[in-house]
Amino acid sequence: MSGARRERQRAATIAEISRTARRLLVEDGIEAVTLRAIAREMGMTAPALYRYFANRDELLRHLAGDLYGDLTDFLAARLEEVAGDGIEARFRAAGHGFRRWSLNHPREYGMIFGTPLPPPGAPGAPGEDGAHVHDHADECGARFGMFFMALFTELWAQRPFPVPADEEIAPGLRAQLAEYRDHMGIALPLGCILVYLQCWVLLQGAVSLEVFGHVQFALADPEPLFALSLDDIARRLGF
């Protein structure tokens, strides 16, 4: 039974489709990522792609997952480079690395952090009314989230930073944080998770604005402004 070989071949083809789609995305923008163009580049015809994806949206979602993966790998590699340094240096490396990848891959960034993609699965899928489908993109997104969360738990274990006590958190927020913590199986105080989210909002907000050019109205080079945002985050983490 060479079913395994077939599966491997199939996975390789899916990977090549994704690679081709990404190349088109980088070179000519998201609207150039058409089924026909992908097939053309691969020496196939467009309908053949339907053997691998239900439609264009699902293909794009898969690509988004790969992009998440690429970003996560990039950050992991950057962290490897400064593995010997202290936790603060590693944190700053992660922040700057995230910004660097995003600025170097604006169109990829737009796909995963810009206007959201259509959700997986057709609306009103039978039997799974609103249930999570958990596709490739979800998995890779979760892995990315884990990456920063792991950095946080490491920092917290090594040198705890000031966080609000449970009673200081608004009840509605507290309940949601508790649910998130249980859902993720994290062993951190609620205040720590809250600070994590605040830092994430700060970081991704600053990067988004810069990548999408929404600070350009004032600053041609927004890098110093981003450095200040990172300082804000560092201060909040007790650096």
User: Binding residues for DNA, per CB under 7 A?
Assistant: 1-3, 5-6, 9-10, 13, 34-37, 39, 43-48, 50-52, 55-57
- Torsion angle (degrees, nearest 10) of CA 102, 108, 109, 115: 170
Nearer to a second copy, 83 or 220 (CB): 220
For the purposes of burial, counting CB atoms within 10 Å of the CB of 61, is it exposed (0-12), middle (13-18) or buried (19 or more)?
buried
For the purposes of burial, counting CB atoms within 10 Å of the CB of 67, is it exposed (0-12), middle (13-18) or buried (19 or more)?
buried
Contact call for residue 150 and a second copy (CB under 8 A): no
Residue 32: DSSP 8-state: G
**Per-residue binding letters, 153-172, with a second copy (x by CB under 8 A):** -----------------x-x
Residues 219-238 that bind a second copy (CB under 8 A): 219-221, 224-225, 227-229
3-class secondary structure, 54: coil
Partner in contact with 239, chosen from DNA, a second copy, none, beta carbon below 5 to 8 Å by kind: none
Rg value, the chain, Cα:
20
For the chain, the first-to-last Cα distance in angstroms comes to: 58
Contact call for residue 120 and a second copy (CB under 8 A): no
Nearer to a second copy, 86 or 213 (CB): 213
Tokens of 223: 């890098």
Q: Which of 9, 34, 104, 204: binder of a second copy (CB under 8 A)? A: 204
Are 125 and 233 contacting, i.e. CB atoms less than 8 angstroms apart?
no
Partner in contact with 114, chosen from a second copy, DNA, none, beta carbon below 5 to 8 Å by kind: a second copy
Partner in contact with 208, chosen from DNA, a second copy, none, beta carbon below 5 to 8 Å by kind: a second copy
For the purposes of burial, counting CB atoms within 10 Å of the CB of 223, is it exposed (0-12), middle (13-18) or buried (19 or more)?
exposed
Partner in contact with 47, chosen from DNA, a second copy, none, beta carbon below 5 to 8 Å by kind: DNA
Tokens of 128: 């799974």
Nearer to a second copy, 42 or 197 (CB): 197
Residues of the shown chain interacting with a second copy in the complex, contacts defined by CB under 8 A: 110, 113-116, 141-142, 145, 170, 172-173, 176-177, 180, 193-194, 197-198, 201-202, 204-206, 208-209, 212-215, 217-221, 224-225, 227-229
